[in-house]
Amino acid sequence: MKPPRSRWTRRQFVRAGAAAGIGTVLASSVSATEEVHAPTILERTPSRPVVVSSANGNKFKNGGPRTCVQEAFERVTRGEDVLDALLAGVNILELDPSEDSVGYGGLPNAEGVVQLDASVMHGPRKRAGAVAALEGVRTPSLVARAVMDSTDHHLLVGEGAQRFARQMGFTIEPDLNTEHSRAEWLKWKQQTDPAHYPVPVPRAYGTIHCNGVTARGEIAGVTTTSGLAWKIPGRVGDSPILGAGNYVDNDVGAAGSTGRGEANLFSLASFLIVEEMRRGAHPKDAALTAVRRIVANTVEKRLLNARGKPAFQLKFYVLSRTGQHAGVALYGEKDVAYAVCDAAGPRTVPMDFLLEGSPTGA
C-alpha cells in the first residue's frame, strides 16, 4: 500500500520555495573562511537600578561625601524621580570649581567667556529640554530641566536662554570663570597671535553624561558641559542636541557621549545606539555600530591621523531598560574608563573600544 501523498496548497509551495531561496543566498554570501557571529541579544529580565556616567562621575565630590554616580544611585534606590536623582549627581560636578569641563569654572571660549550647554531627557514622561551657549548660570542642567517643565520647547540658546533662566529665578552671575579657568585661558592666549583671530592649539573636550534606570524601568539621561575649550563664541556641540549627546527611550534604554561633538552630531550616534538596542542589540554592540559609522563618516584629511583613522576621541555611555550597560570608546587609550554605581557600589571600569592606540596615531 502506498503512503498517502501530502497535498500542498499553492501558498505553502510558494512559501517553501522562498525560504529555500533565502537559505541559498545566505549560504552563498558567506565565504568558507568567514564565521557568522550572531549579535548579543538583550536579556528580557526585570530592570535593576544602575547609574552610568563618564569617568569624571566617580571622581569629583565638591567637598561632599559622594560622587555623581553615588549620589544619583542612592536617590534612585530611595524612590526619587530618576531625572531628579541624576540631576543631583551632575550638579556636584557643575558646582565643583576643580572640574574645568563642566559648569562653574569650565574652560571658556576664545574670548574668555564661559558658555555652557546641557540637555535632559525624561523617559517615562517622554519630555526633554536643553540649553546652549548659556552664560552666567552654574547649573545649566537645571535650566534645561526648567525648559522641559515650563515651556513647549526643547532648546533655548544664548541670551534667550539666559533671560529665561532669570525669569525662572536662577541667579545670573557676571562671570563663571575661576582663577584656574582664567589662568588656563591666559596661557592659551599667550600661545596665539593676539592681533588676529586665535589660531587653535590642541584643545580639550570636556563633558559629563549620566544616565540611570530605576527598579521600575524608568530611565533618564543628562549631559552637561562647558564645551570645547577656547571655542569660537557661540559654538554648540552635541551635548544639548537630542539624539546626539543625549537620547532616551523609556521602552529601550539610553545613550550619551563625551568627546568630539561635531563627529557625534553628524551621525546622531546616541539615537542610532538606542535604535540598535530596540532591534535587540546589547549596549556594547549597539555602541560599536555607532562608532563604526563615525569612522566611515570621517573622511576629511584634517580630521585623520597618520594611519588614516580619526584624529579625535569619542566615548559613549549606554544603558538598557533592564540595567545592562556598556562604555565604548573610539580608541582604547590608557586608562579609558567609565563610571558605574549599582548594588555593588560605585566603581570605574574599563571601556570597550574599536581601535587600538590613540587619536594621534601612536
pLDDT tens across 306-328, in order? 999 999 999 999 999 999 999 99
Calculate mean pLDDT across residues 238-254. 98
**3-class SS of residue 181:** helix
Q: Which of 192-206, 282-296, 348-362 has the lowest mean pLDDT?
A: 192-206
Say how far apart CA 217 and CA 46 lie, in whole Å: 8
d(CA 82, CA 80): 6
Q: pLDDT tens for residues 75-94?
A: 999 999 999 999 999 999 99
- In this prediction, residue 148 carries a pLDDT of 98
Q: pLDDT value at position 192?
A: 75
Q: Are 268 and 244 in contact (CB under 8 A)?
A: yes
Count the Cβ atoms, other than its own, within 10 Å of residue 312.
Answer: 20
- Where on the phi/psi map is residue 333: left (φ > 0), alpha (ψ -120 to 50), or beta? beta
Angle between helices 269-278 and 283-297 (to 10 degrees): 140
The per-residue pLDDT for 305 is: 94
**207 an active-site residue?**
yes
Decide if 233 contacts 114 (C-beta within 8 A): no
Q: How many CB atoms lie within 10 A of CB 299?
A: 10
Query: Is this structure's pTM higher than 0.75?
Result: yes
Residues, the chain, total? 362
In DSSP terms, 156 is beta-bridged to: 131
Quickly state the pLDDT bin for 3 (edges 50, 70, 90): very low
Choice among 67, 207, 223, 224 that is catalytic? 207
Encode pLDDT of 44-65 as tens digits: 566 899 999 999 999 999 999 9
d(CA 241, CA 255): 12
Please give the domain boundaries of the chain with CATH numbers for all domains. 50-355 (3.60.20.30)
Cβ neighbours around 53 below 10 Å, total? 34
User: Do the Cβ atoms of 292 and 354 come closer than 8 Å?
Assistant: yes
d(CA 176, CA 361): 36
pLDDT of residue 296: 97
Which pLDDT score is estimated for 316? 98
pLDDT at residue 189 in the model: 85
Whole-number average pLDDT of the chain = 88
Residues in Cβ contact with 197 at an 8 Å cutoff, skipping those fewer than 6 apart: none
Cα torsion for 194, 196, 197, 202, to the nearest 10°? -60
pLDDT at position 299 is: 96
Mean pLDDT of 223-250: 96
Residue 279, SS3? coil
297: which residues sit within 8 A by CB, 6+ positions away? 263, 266, 267
